[in-house]
């Protein structure tokens, strides 16, 4: 065979024939488009292509003998498109070399303006490109949808009433409950809790341990309240109980002490025993007179502050609720076995 | 059975998304909000995938008819045209152009389209499409699927694709029979115009239906 072969052109539009001396005899129609130059016949093969594999093959003999099945070529000029090549030796010397873009086809097609008609109908190049493009389009759509769902989730979380870590109510739940209570003219009490030594647990055992402690405390608080009451986590290690049928101030104080003792029971975590305590400030609204929520909250807060400054693990009642002189802030020793 | 339902949901979700981007890109965000409101849906419900997706499509179709004061069939035809011609749906047009070197080649390739799509998204089951060449330059296309209206969408899409290839073609929607929607395509001039240029390697990773960017 010497001249162009229409059958080979149709079946392998990216082939070329090279003679014994490395001169190009013929180039398939698609490869001609890629090479761009009109006068390729007669050009030196090794000036058009760099042979990457078999490594260092600079003659036809070396290319033919070295490339058992698969050779790797690269365009000498930019954009240095890489090719996978099959080298089939001809009896008279020289070879038919069929090229393909291999897996680099997406990049290669970005550099060369080719259409489906440039590939043989049985060639899966176009199918592969279809797959690449549809996959990335689907992926991009999925990412977009994820982003939309994420922002929806953020909105939903803002509207949620539950603290996701502990399952207790959150600040929003507290606001709603207080607004509800303010509308009724009945007594209720706020018990403001702040954990002691929690930071030490976090610092020593890590945040997972800290989270575990918060969940255990949430369990204790949830068990302590009655139907109609609200237990909430205000954030960090700060909790609030809203008691809708509060007992006397004295009984409230005892209840808070029991809570503190329960909280001080060591918590098992992996192989460690974690100990925290809590300070509690209590404020009570007696159901008569105007209700100033902010002031009530402030007094619970002030009571908590007083408990904190009197030492850890203490309970303090807001001044207006004290019916008797303040109980001397008796230190409750941790694990006092009560 | 569950799998079948999921596949169906995927197709409905795709249809919902197509209606969404079409209405928003063509008529504006306000009109789209009217449609959502008319359908009693939130944007999140539209995005969620599940058995309710089918109900969503129905509610959406009715709301589109009311708000645009047009039959949903003609709207779906416009959706088909939109998918090929609107810049925000570029990747759809590109994927379709991959399927054939000219319009006739493209028509024949429609039969492979569901398999091609399944290769990329295994859970998405497109309606089965059958292409019969009745005689020279005359085709009968049957589109079998549980989704009503897909034939109208296909009609709009084929009309726009003919244009894209530079082919002058007549397209008639012959209605829905027991074996699906039937379309008749008659080619008048296959070299009517230049058509739009199409090279293989020009695509980026644009979302399938990008829609209006906020």
Cα dihedral sign, B108-A136-B157-B123? positive
Which class for B203: exposed (0-12), middle (13-18), buried (19 or more C-beta within 10 A)? buried
pLDDT at residue number A335: 44
Can you tell me the mean pLDDT for B68-77? 94
Closest CA–CA distance from residue A135 to any residue of chain B (Å): 6
B104: three-class secondary structure by DSSP: helix
**Taking CB atoms and an 8 Å limit, are B119 and A112 in contact across chains?**
no
- CA distances to A95, B106, B116, B130 from B113, in Å: 39, 10, 5, 10
> What is the CA B184 to chain-centroid distance, rounded?
17
**Taking CB atoms and an 8 Å limit, are B119 and A131 in contact across chains?**
yes
In chain A, positions 144-173, which contact chain B (CB-CB < 8 Å)?
Answer: 144-145, 148-149, 152
Among A14, A33, A114, A134, the strongest candidate for a mutation testing the B interface, having the largest count of B CBs within 10 A, is: A134
pLDDT at residue number A325: 45
Selecting from B101, B116, B207 the residue whose C-beta is nearest the C-beta of A137 gives B207
Is B203 inside any structural domain?
A: no
Between B212 and A229, the more confident residue is A229
Whether residues A115 and A179 share a domain: the answer is no
Whether residues A108 and A183 share a domain: the answer is no
CATH number of the domain enclosing B147: 3.90.1520.10
pLDDT at residue number A336: 39
Is B57 inside any structural domain?
A: yes
Whether residues A103 and A184 share a domain: the answer is no
| B42 vs B33: CA distance, rounded Å | 9
Q: Per-residue pLDDT for B211 more than 70?
A: no
Contact status of A111 with chain B (Cβ, < 8 Å): yes
**Taking CB atoms and an 8 Å limit, are A116 and B121 in contact across chains?**
no
CB atoms within 10 A of CB B175: 9
Residue B211 contacts residue B88 (beta carbons within 8 Å):
yes
Whether residues B66 and B106 share a domain: the answer is no
CATH number of the domain enclosing A291: 3.30.70.270
Of the candidates B121, B120, B174, B117, which has an alpha carbon nearest to the alpha carbon of residue B151? B174
Of the candidates B182, B170, B173, B158, which has an alpha carbon nearest to the alpha carbon of residue B84? B158
Residue-wise pLDDT tens digits, B85-144: 998 888 888 888 888 889 999 999 999 989 888 888 888 888 899 999 999 899 999 998
Whether residues A259 and A316 share a domain: the answer is yes
Whether residues A309 and A181 share a domain: the answer is yes
Whether residues A78 and A203 share a domain: the answer is no
Q: Which residues of A touch B213 (CB under 8 A)?
A: none
Is A77 inside any structural domain?
A: yes
Whether residues A260 and A204 share a domain: the answer is yes
Is A330 inside any structural domain?
A: no
Is B21 inside any structural domain?
A: yes
pLDDT at residue number A297: 87
Is A326 inside any structural domain?
A: no
pLDDT at residue number B204: 60
Q: Which residue of chain B is at minimal alpha-carbon distance from A136?
A: B205
**Taking CB atoms and an 8 Å limit, are B200 and A129 in contact across chains?**
yes
Whether residues B54 and B133 share a domain: the answer is no
Residue B182 contacts residue B174 (beta carbons within 8 Å):
yes
* Full residue range of the structural domain in which residue B187 is found: 101-196
Of the candidates B178, B152, B213, B10, which has an alpha carbon nearest to the alpha carbon of residue A138? B10
Can you tell me the mean pLDDT for B64-91? 93
Share of residues in chain B with pLDDT > 90 (%):
47
Last residue of a domain, one of A90, A123, A156: A123
Is A147 inside any structural domain?
A: no
Is A92 inside any structural domain?
A: yes
Is B116 inside any structural domain?
A: yes
Whether residues B46 and B119 share a domain: the answer is no
Q: Per-residue pLDDT for B34 more than 70?
A: yes
Q: Which residue of chain B is at minimal alpha-carbon distance from A126?
A: B98
pLDDT at residue number A46: 94
Selecting from A135, A140, A152 the residue whose C-beta is nearest the C-beta of B206 gives A140
> How high is the mean pLDDT in each 10-residue block of chain A (338 residues)?
80 95 94 85 93 89 82 92 94 92 85 86 86 83 84 81 90 88 86 94 92 95 90 93 90 93 93 93 85 87 91 85 48 41
Q: Which residues of A touch B24 (CB under 8 A)?
A: none
Q: How many domains does chain B have?
A: 2
Is A185 inside any structural domain?
A: yes
| A160 vs A240: CA distance, rounded Å | 17
pLDDT at residue number A292: 84
Q: Per-residue pLDDT for B80 more than 90?
A: yes
Whether residues B25 and B110 share a domain: the answer is no
A271: three-class secondary structure by DSSP: coil
Whether residues A112 and A208 share a domain: the answer is no
CATH number of the domain enclosing A32: 3.30.450.260
pLDDT at residue number A102: 86
Q: How open is the CA angle A68-A72-A74, to the nearest 5 degrees?
A: 150
Whether residues A112 and A203 share a domain: the answer is no
Whether residues A184 and A309 share a domain: the answer is yes
Selecting from B47, B99, B101 the residue whose C-beta is nearest the C-beta of A115 gives B101
| A17 vs A28: CA distance, rounded Å | 9
Is B174 inside any structural domain?
A: yes
pLDDT at residue number A92: 84
Largest CA distance in chain A: 117
* Full residue range of the structural domain in which residue A44 is found: 6-123
Is B130 inside any structural domain?
A: yes
Last residue of a domain, one of A62, A88, A123: A123
| Cross-strand pairs, A272 | A269
pLDDT at residue number A294: 86
pLDDT at residue number A192: 94
Is A131 inside any structural domain?
A: no
Q: What is the mean pLDDT of chain B?
A: 86
Contact status of A336 with chain B (Cβ, < 8 Å): no
**Taking CB atoms and an 8 Å limit, are A131 and B95 in contact across chains?**
no
Whether residues A65 and A196 share a domain: the answer is no
Whether residues B132 and B177 share a domain: the answer is yes
Token output for B150: 């897909």
pLDDT at residue number A3: 63
Residue A212 contacts residue A160 (beta carbons within 8 Å):
no
Q: What are phi and psi of A86, to 5 degrees?
A: -110, 125
Is B119 inside any structural domain?
A: yes
Residue A193 contacts residue A278 (beta carbons within 8 Å):
yes
Whether residues A115 and A176 share a domain: the answer is no
**Taking CB atoms and an 8 Å limit, are A114 and B121 in contact across chains?**
no
CB atoms within 10 A of CB A206: 12
Is B189 inside any structural domain?
A: yes
Is A206 inside any structural domain?
A: yes
Has the ipTM of the complex gone over 0.85?
Answer: no
pLDDT at residue number B203: 62
Q: How many domains does chain A have?
A: 2
Who contacts B20 (Cβ-Cβ below 8 Å, separation ≥6)?
B32, B46, B211
């Amino acid at each position: 065979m010497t001249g162009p072969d229409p059958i080979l052109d149709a079946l392998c539009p990216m082939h070329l024939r090279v003679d014994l001396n490395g001169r190009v005899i013929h180039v398939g129609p698609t490869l001609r488009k890629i090479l761009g130059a009109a006068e390729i016949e007669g050009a030196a093969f090794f000036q058009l292509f760099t042979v990457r594999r078999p490594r260092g093959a600079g003659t036809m003999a070396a290319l033919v003998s070295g490339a058992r099945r698969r050779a790797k070529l690269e365009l000498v000029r930019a954009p240095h498109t890489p090719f996978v090549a099959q080298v089939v030796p001809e009896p008279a010397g020289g070879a038919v070399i069929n090229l393909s873009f291999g897996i680099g086809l997406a990049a290669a097609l970005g550099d060369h303006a080719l259409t489906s008609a440039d590939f043989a109908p049985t060639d899966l190049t176009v199918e592969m490109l279809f797959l690449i493009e549809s996959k990335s389009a689907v992926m991009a759509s999925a990412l977009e949808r994820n982003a939309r769902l994420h922002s929806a989730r953020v909105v939903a979380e803002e509207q949620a009433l539950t603290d996701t870590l502990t399952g207790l109510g959150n600040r929003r739940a507290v606001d709603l409950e207080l607004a509800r209570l303010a509308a009724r003219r009945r007594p209720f009490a706020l018990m403001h809790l702040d954990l002691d030594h929690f930071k030490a647990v976090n610092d020593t055992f890590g945040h997972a341990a800290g989270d575990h402690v918060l969940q255990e405390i949430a369990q204790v608080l949830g068990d302590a309240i009655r139907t109609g009451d609200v237990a909430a986590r205000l954030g960090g290690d700060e909790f609030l109980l809203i008691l809708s049928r509060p007992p006397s101030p004295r009984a409230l104080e005892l209840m808070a002490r029991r809570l503190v003792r329960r909280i001080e029971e060591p918590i098992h975590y992996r192989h460690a025993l974690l100990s925290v305590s809590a300070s509690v400030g209590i404020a009570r609204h007696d159901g008569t007179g105007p209700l100033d929520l902010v002031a009530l909250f402030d007094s619970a807060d002030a009571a908590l502050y007083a408990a904190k400054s009197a030492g850890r693990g203490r309970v303090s009642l807001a001044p207006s609720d004290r019916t008797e002189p303040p109980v001397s802030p008796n230190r409750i020793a941790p694990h006092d076995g009560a | 059975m569950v799998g079948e339902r999921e596949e169906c949901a995927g197709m409905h979700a795709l249809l919902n998304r197509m209606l969404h981007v079409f209405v928003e890109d063509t008529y504006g965000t306000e009109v789209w909000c009217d449609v959502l409101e008319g359908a009693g849906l939130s944007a999140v419900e539209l995005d969620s995938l599940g058995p309710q997706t089918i109900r969503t499509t129905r509610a959406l179709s009715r709301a589109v008819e009311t708000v645009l004061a047009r039959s949903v069939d003609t709207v779906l035809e416009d959706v088909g045209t939109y998918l090929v011609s609107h810049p925000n749906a570029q990747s759809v047009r590109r994927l379709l152009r991959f399927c054939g070197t000219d319009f006739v080649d493209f028509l024949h390739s429609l039969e492979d389209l569901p398999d091609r799509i399944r290769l990329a998204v295994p859970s998405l089951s497109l309606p089965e499409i059958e292409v019969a060449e009745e005689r020279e330059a005359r085709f009968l296309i049957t589109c079998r699927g549980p989704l009503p209206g897909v034939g109208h969408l296909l009609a709009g899409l084929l009309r726009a694709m003919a244009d894209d290839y530079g082919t002058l073609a007549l397209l008639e929607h012959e209605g829905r029979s027991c074996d699906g929607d039937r379309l008749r395509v008659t080619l008048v001039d296959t070299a009517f115009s230049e058509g739009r240029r199409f090279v293989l390697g020009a695509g980026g990773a644009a979302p399938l239906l990008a829609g209006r960017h906020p």
